Amino acid sequence: MVRVISQETYDEVVNENMEQFSMSPEEAIEDAVKQFEAQGIDLSNIIKDLIISDSNELIDSYLSQINIALEDKSYGNMPHILDKLGNELDKDMARRIYAGKKGAYKSLIKLTKACCNNGTIVKAGLKTTTSLMTGNPDLLNDEGIALQIQILETYPDIPTLQCLLRWIRECCIKHELNRQGIFNADIFNKLKKILVRDDASGSELRDACAVIRALVLDDDIRHEYGKAHEHASVIAKGALNVLTGLMPRYKKDKGVVGDLMITLAALIVRNEFCQEVEDAGGLKFVVDVMIDYPDSEKLNWQALKLLKALAGNDNVKSHIITSGCGPIIVCAISRMKDSECVVTAGLACISALTLRCSSNAGVFYDCGAPLVIIDAMKAYPKSVPVLKQAAWAIRNMSVRNKAECPEFVAHGVEDVLAKALKLHGPKIENDVKAALRDLGLKVELKERWTGKGAGLSNGAS
């Protein structure tokens, strides 16, 4: 369980350092931080430099000015005040938590609603609310969701809508109930209007895609069962053809293309969705991207993520290989071996494409995958994701291709797997041992359960 302290307790220790040990404010702060961190205390909610910055007073002052403006209905100076408050909140989580406790959310929502006809204030209010709620999404309530939908439906100003989309996205991250509340407000149909607009800019599309991906996250540890799959299914039914259709139109815009690919990867959670994307030309487009942008780390990572997702359909999996993706994937891993994210995504691709498919595995043997996989493990001995994906790829390539297994052994796979197991133990034990077993190498398997040998009765008398 995470241990936390109050701002007052922290300030007492800082003041004690200054008074009793004659430390300067900077020294007192540094010593206090070291003390608490050594005790395993999380200081993310603490304004560490409060004694020399007077941040609380600044935040209180800005909030007071906003509340006075709301009472007087005098908003002339609000854009300036909102900008200053936002800059203060952007400094760290502690300032955002403090402002939230002081009613900042309620004041900002009230101000934005009161000034709905003043685009400058609405835009500034949305930016500041986003600053307040970055990593701090618990503040959102039904009133905030209603305001989001109202602005999305009625505001024509594109920069303001983009500020709104960024706020909505922040509300969805690590907060399942916010996602469900926003999704249930029919936000997808509002977002779809942006996606299908002929004059939509690339930056608008990217912000809309970011919200879609946030709506299908499953990252809130407070909720064991979320609705990511349900959200993804509903959105996929209404958006796959639209998103795939946008790819050729924006093929020269690397940012938009990458966002479209990673969004599609997040949505194709069912067998038929994979087929739909391929039928719409998605697979060919991904192959073209990897060929046209061989040196773009981010685009290759995004393309590999989409290829792995598409491999969820056995028919599409076969087409991925017959379209020549095997050598492209292996070359991408080898060419971008300094990028851990590309290497991980590439190995995951190999694992997915060779699962229960010996012919696909044979293609990867033919294009030199064993050496590339082992080199990746040697290059990232401390990366559990790389080692896990590599072990799965080795297992899937070996289990039905016994005649080709010796190629892994010839490249020293046994020693690499043994070192990985020794370094990471239980984190990758099952994966490494499964790879060793399917390679036909010596491995000590644990017997998880044994019966006691007692006689069994069927209960009949």
Domain boundaries, the chain: 3-42, 299-442
Q: What is the mean pLDDT of residues 432-449?
A: 83
pLDDT grade for 33, boundaries at 50, 70 and 90: confident
Long-range contacts of 338-343, Cβ-Cβ distance < 8 Å, separation of 24 or more: 339/297, 339/301, 340/380, 340/383, 340/385, 340/386, 341/297, 341/301, 342/297, 342/300, 342/301, 342/304, 343/376, 343/379, 343/380, 343/386
Contacts of residue 459, Cβ cutoff 8 Å, sequence gap at least 6: none
Counting Cβ atoms within 10 Å, is residue 133 exposed (0-12), middle (13-18) or buried (19+)? buried
pLDDT grade for 49, boundaries at 50, 70 and 90: confident
The pLDDT score that the predictor gives to residue 211 is 98
The pLDDT score that the predictor gives to residue 52 is 59
Structure-model confidence comparison of residues 23 and 81, the more confident one: 81
Please determine, for residue 450, whether its predicted confidence score (pLDDT) is greater than 70. Answer: no
The pLDDT score that the predictor gives to residue 43 is 83
The pLDDT score that the predictor gives to residue 460 is 46
Q: What is the mean pLDDT of residues 56-66?
A: 91
d(CA 315, CA 228): 25
The pLDDT score that the predictor gives to residue 353 is 97
d(CA 350, CA 355): 8
Q: Residues in the chain, how many?
A: 461
The candidate with the shortest Cα–Cα distance to 274, out of 319, 242, 316, 228, is: 316
Using the structure block, give the residue that is written with the tokens 């790879």: 435
| Most distant pair of Cα atoms in the chain: their distance | 90
pLDDT grade for 447, boundaries at 50, 70 and 90: low
Q: What is the mean pLDDT of residues 321-332?
A: 96
Q: What is the mean pLDDT of the chain?
A: 92
Q: What is the mean pLDDT of residues 445-452?
A: 62
In single-letter form, the type of residue at position 310 comes to L
Range with the poorest average pLDDT among 8-17, 242-251, 371-380: 8-17
pLDDT grade for 435, boundaries at 50, 70 and 90: very high
Contacts of residue 102, Cβ cutoff 8 Å, sequence gap at least 6: 59, 60, 63
Percent pLDDT > 90 in the chain is 78
**Phi and psi, residue 41, nearest 5°:** -95, 135
The pLDDT score that the predictor gives to residue 444 is 77
Using the structure block, give the residue that is written with the tokens 């996606």: 195
d(CA 48, CA 22): 19
Please determine, for residue 315, whether its predicted confidence score (pLDDT) is greater than 90. Answer: yes
The pLDDT score that the predictor gives to residue 461 is 41
Quickly name the fold that domain 299-442 has.
Leucine-rich Repeat Variant (1.25.10)
Q: Pull the structure tokens for residue 14.
A: 């800082």
93-101 vs 55-72: helix crossing angle, rounded to 10:
40
The conformation of residue 41, written as its DSSP 8-state character, comes to B
* pTM to 2 decimal places: 0.86
Q: Which of 44-48, 152-156, 326-330 has the highest mean pLDDT?
A: 326-330
Angle (nearest 5°) at CA 352 between 346 and 358? 115
